[in-house]
Amino acid sequence: MSLGGEEDSYVIWTVNLDRKKSRSGGRRIPKRFSIPNVRIDELAKACEKLGLRYEVEKKRYPRCWWEEGGRVRVEKKMKKTELMIRLAEKIKEMRE
């Protein structure tokens, strides 16, 4: 799904939601909301289920470039932290 310019979207990396990462290692939400071993396909599916427009980008997080991962660009519909928490909750729900 095509998004507008960069000012219309957030970049969310898989490590931003990963419980195994520290804050300095890339996690951006509190540990109680985070989930372990987030995959890019799960992140994309969570965006889809929340009804958000998104684009998957096969990139590697600079701080841990040797690990698999990726990022999605998601349309801005809410605050970024709130969006990341809702995505993590949706992935938890999908894993059950």
* 1 domain residue, yes or no: no
Q: What is the spatial distance between Cα 72 and Cα 53, in angstroms, rounded to a whole number? A: 10
* pLDDT at position 7: 77
* Torsion sign over Cα 49, 55, 56, 60: negative
* Spacing of C-alpha 45 from chain mean position: 11
Q: Which residue has the tokens 């219309």?
A: 8
Residue 37 in domain? yes
For residue 68, what pLDDT is reported? Answer: 87
51 Cβ neighbours under 8 A, 6+ residues apart:
none
Give domain status of residue 29, yes or no: yes
- Which residue type occupies 38? V
Q: pLDDT tens, 44-95? A: 999 999 999 999 998 999 998 888 889 999 999 999 999 999 999 999 999 9
Q: How many helices (H) and strands (E) are present in the chain, helices listed first?
A: 2, 3
pLDDT band at 8 (very low <50, low <70, confident <90, very high): confident
pTM here is 0.89
Q: What is the mean pLDDT of residues 12-22?
A: 96
Residue 76 confidence (pLDDT): 93
Cα–Cα distances (Å) from 49 to 10, 53, 67, 81, 94, in that order, read: 17, 10, 26, 18, 10
Q: What is the CATH number of the domain that holds 28?
A: 3.30.56.30
Contact 75, 9 (CB under 8 A): yes
The total domain count for the chain is 1
* Residue 36 domain flag: yes
Classify residue 54: in a domain, yes or no.
Answer: yes
